[in-house]
Amino acid sequence: MTVGARSETPTRSEAAVWQRVEFGSYVADLPLWEELAGAGDRPTAELGAGAGRVALHLARRGVRMLAIEREPELLEELDRGARAEGLAIEALAADAADLERTGIRIAAALAPLHLIQQIDPGRRRALLGGLAGVCESGSAIGLTLVDEESLFEGGIEGGSVPDMVEIDGWVYSSEPLWVQVGDETITVRRLRQRVAPGGEIERSVHDEVLHRLGAATLEAEAEAAGLSPRECRPLRSGPAEADSVAVILEAR
């Protein structure tokens, strides 16, 4: 839906902008990634790095980072942010499920923001097998899942406040409307709105679809792929946000 005349749109990637609006302020997982990040010559890989929320945070703390992302415009935004801060982050345009084809070797792998649930089950198992092939023995692998119980206990269904950011004179907001839990997927619907410097308003609806996946199932799939479960850890989010569970694995 568009209200009013369309103004000249900003030059930044739309995907990068909405990542910043919806996830840029999320910090509940950052201490975990600091803990799991590797050291030494091998890089720590962030899978589905997007515009760099985690990769930039860890690079600021001296972690050698490899950002893996299949969307070129998101890697461009990450590179822009890294150069602005004088950070060196390796970038690889690739699908996280095709890691073994890249020939890389990594010290740790991190998959924030329920990336593992965005991948269909067949490719998810390929991703786990790929991680077993590219990670050094003893490397930590951190994957986050939605804590489904929290969806209806003060989460999205319990009321929400729009995420809002101003970028280049444009005001962006994103408000979760509802969550639907089906037999195989979880769908979160958001109302996205942006207000141009001249006051024109543009609205759209965006659905995020995740495959349902429990920690026990993920650990079983990881063992079958040659990885060892280490622990599960809760990640508590803010009010009106769903919590997460971090499934931490180890390469053999």
Q: What is the pLDDT of residues 187-222, one digit of tens each?
A: 999 999 999 999 999 999 999 999 999 999 999 999
Domain boundaries, the chain: 2-10+150-210, 16-147+213-251
CATH 2.20.25.110 fits 2-10+150-210, yes or no: yes
First to last CA, the chain: 51
| Model confidence band, residue 96 (pLDDT cutoffs 50, 70, 90) | confident
Amino acid at site 244: S
DSSP structure class, residue 71: -
Residue 246 pairs with which residues in a beta bridge? 144, 233
- What is the chain's mean pLDDT, rounded? 90
Compute the distance between CA of residue 109 and CA of residue 247 in angstroms, rounded to an integer. 12
**pLDDT tens, position by position, 10-69:** 556 889 999 999 999 999 999 999 999 998 889 999 999 999 999 999 999 999 999 999
Q: Are 178 and 189 in contact (CB under 8 A)?
A: yes
pLDDT at 158: 45
Which positions ≥6 away from 216 have C-beta within 8 Å?
none
Asked if 68 contacts 139 with a C-beta cutoff of 8 angstroms, the reply is no
16-147+213-251: which CATH topology?
Answer: Rossmann fold (3.40.50)
Q: What is the DSSP letter of 199?
A: S
Reported as type and span, the H/E element at residue 118 is helix 115-118
Reported confidence tier of residue 156, pLDDT bands at 50, 70, 90: low
Residue 11 DSSP code: S
pLDDT in tens, 165-179: 999 899 999 998 999
Examine domains 2-10+150-210 and 16-147+213-251 and report if their fold is the same: no
Judge contact between 158 and 152, C-beta under 8 A: yes
Give the global pTM.
0.90
